[in-house]
A and B are shown apart, each in its own frame.
Chain A
Amino acid sequence: MFENLDPLLHQQLRLAIISLLMNVREAEFTYIREKTGATAGNLSVQLSKLKEANYIEINKSFKDNYPMTVCSITDTGKAAFDTYVAALTKYIGKHQ
């Protein structure tokens, strides 16, 4: 039923990550984990997949001697999200 939907985004955690990053300039790993309720391991895996597709950027640095991972959405990611929402809207429109 969802043949036109981007398979990379059509997964709960990845969609949650992209939806979250669409609304902020950038967010730390711990913030994303808290808001999505995901485990650190699963979140890392899904972030890597989104990064490989160039949907997000991941910057690693240190803050007060602690490692800090900051994520932000790329233009490719924004376009993919827009396309996903448009396809979803079209599907809902057809089935109402």
Chain B
Amino acid sequence: MENENVMSEKDSLRIIQDMIDATKHSLLQDGVIYIYWGWIILFCSLGEYLLMLTTFKYPYLTWLVMPFAVFRYMHYVKQRRAGSRVKSYIDEYMSVLWRAFIISASTILCLFPVIGYERVLPLIIILYGIGTYTSGGVLRFPPLTYGGLANYPLAIAAFFTSFQNQLIILSIAVLVSYIIPGYLLKANFKSRNV
């Protein structure tokens, strides 16, 4: 693209198309965020479930890893932003979406004395559905979209079962909507960047 050559209409269209292709990928398409949060939540929920099967008094203590996970994640995001040379609209949208998710999830968690602890996890699973279904649509990645959709029947099932079983449903939810799509996204990202 060095010369002031006369361009044909095909040249113009090709250049426009090339630049659309070159910029359409988002940093979030490497799947790291989905894998990270997927494993953290799976560890907490499955850990609590397993501890509930024992005589341990405080099985919910597994969730204490969350503040550390959040801190580590914020550090990761900060590093990634610093290393990024472009701000895409997709990244910006996704950032706003997941911020809204965190605010919504925090609101539900704060309201658990009012709404009842047995309704908290089903509502959180619905939020997973919003986050991952929307992300799948924006990133145009069907496994994330379908994984997101799977959260809705899981959330419905969770409303009709005990808290202990809800932990298993939550584990399944993060497996199908975060971990599996996350690894598929990562594989897709790697194959595209080879």
Residues of A with Cβ closer than 8 Å to B? 2, 10-13, 15-16, 19-20, 22-28, 30-31, 35-39, 42, 63, 84-85, 88, 91-92, 95
Contact check, A10 vs B7: say whether CB atoms are below 8 A apart: yes
Query: What are the residues of chain B within 8 A of A27 when measuring CB–CB?
Result: 23, 85-87
* The one of A13, A19, A28, A42 that contacts B85, using a Cβ cutoff of 8 Å: A28
**How far is the CB of A75 from the nearest CB of chain B, in Å?**
16
Query: What are the residues of chain B within 8 A of A16 when measuring CB–CB?
Result: 1, 15, 18-19
Contact check, B2 vs A38: say whether CB atoms are below 8 A apart: yes
Contact check, A23 vs B89: say whether CB atoms are below 8 A apart: yes
Task: Give B33-50 interface residues, CB cut-off 8 Å to A.
Answer: none
Q: Specify which of A23, A26, A85 lies most central, judged by the most chain B CB atoms within 10 Å of its CB.
A: A23
Bound form: Cα–Cα A6–B13 in Å: 15
Query: What are the residues of chain A within 8 A of B86 when measuring CB–CB?
Result: 24, 26-28, 31
Query: What are the residues of chain B within 8 A of A20 when measuring CB–CB?
Result: 19, 22-23
Bound form: Cα–Cα A63–B24 in Å: 25
* The one of A23, A30, A36 that contacts B1, using a Cβ cutoff of 8 Å: A36
Bound form: Cα–Cα A16–B187 in Å: 29
Besides A13-B2, A20-B23, A25-B88, 8 other CB < 8 A contacts? A12-B11, A19-B15, A19-B19, A23-B19, A26-B86, A27-B86, A28-B86, A35-B19
> Could you give, for residues 87-121 of chain B, a 1 whenever the CB lies within 8 Å of some chain A CB and a 0 otherwise?
11100100000000000000000000000000000
Bound form: Cα–Cα A35–B85 in Å: 12
Least CB separation from A91: chain B residue: B9
Query: What are the residues of chain A within 8 A of B15 when measuring CB–CB?
Result: 12, 15-16, 19
Query: What are the residues of chain A within 8 A of B16 when measuring CB–CB?
Result: 15, 19, 85
- B162 interfacial contact with A, CB 8 Å: no
Contact check, A38 vs B1: say whether CB atoms are below 8 A apart: yes
Least CB separation from B5: chain A residue: A12
**How far is the CB of B116 from the nearest CB of chain A, in Å?**
42
Least CB separation from A19: chain B residue: B19
Contact check, B9 vs A11: say whether CB atoms are below 8 A apart: no
Bound form: Cα–Cα A36–B92 in Å: 23
Least CB separation from B22: chain A residue: A35
Bound form: Cα–Cα A82–B71 in Å: 43
Query: What are the residues of chain B within 8 A of A88 when measuring CB–CB?
Result: 9, 12-13
* The one of B3, B12, B87, B88 that contacts A15, using a Cβ cutoff of 8 Å: B12
* The one of A31, A37, A92 that contacts B9, using a Cβ cutoff of 8 Å: A92
**How far is the CB of A46 from the nearest CB of chain B, in Å?**
9
Query: What are the residues of chain B within 8 A of A95 when measuring CB–CB?
Result: 9
Least CB separation from A9: chain B residue: B12
Query: What are the residues of chain B within 8 A of A24 when measuring CB–CB?
Result: 23, 86-89
